[in-house]
Amino acid sequence: MTDPLMLQEARQSPDVTRRQLAENADVSRALAAAIRALKPAYAVTIARGSSDHACTVLKYALETQLGLPVASLGPSVHTLYGTRLDLRGALVIAVSQSGASPDVVENVRAARESGALTVALVNVEDSDLARAAEFVLPLRGGEERAVAATKSYLASLTALLPVIADLSGDEALLRGLDALPAALEATLALEEQARDLADRYRFAENLIVLTRGLHYGVAQEAALKLKETSGIHAEAYSAAEFSHGPKRLLAEGLPVLAFTPADQAAAATRAALDALQADGADLRTIGPASGSTLTTPATGHGLTDTVPSALAFYLFAAHLSLARGLNPDQPPLLSKVTKTR
Give the C-alpha separation, 239 to 258, whole Å.
9
> Which position among 227, 247, 336, 339 bears the catalytic label?
336
Cα 31–263–233 angle (5° rounding)?
Answer: 90
**DSSP strand pairing (91-96 vs 70-72):** unpaired
Q: What residues form DSSP beta bridges with 237?
A: 210
CA 209/CA 63 separation, integer angstroms: 23
Q: Which residue from 302, 266, 275 is spatially nearest to 256, judged by alpha carbons?
A: 275
For 46, phi then psi, to 5°, come to: -135, 120
Give the single-character DSSP code of 244: T
Tell me the backbone φ, ψ of residue 231, rounded to 5 degrees. 65, 20
Sign of dihedral through CA atoms 136, 141, 143, 144?
negative
Active site residue 227: no
What amino acid is encoded at 150 in this protein? T
Within 10 angstroms of residue 280's Cβ, the number of other Cβ atoms is: 10
Name 241's Cβ contacts closer than 8 Å, sequence gap at least 6: none
How many other CB atoms are there within 10 angstroms of residue 178's CB atom? Answer: 13
CB atoms closer than 10 angstroms to residue 132:
23
Question: Nearest to residue 276, comparing CAs of 306, 250, 314, 295?
Answer: 250
Collapsing DSSP to helix, strand or coil, 335 comes out as coil
The set of catalytic residues is 336
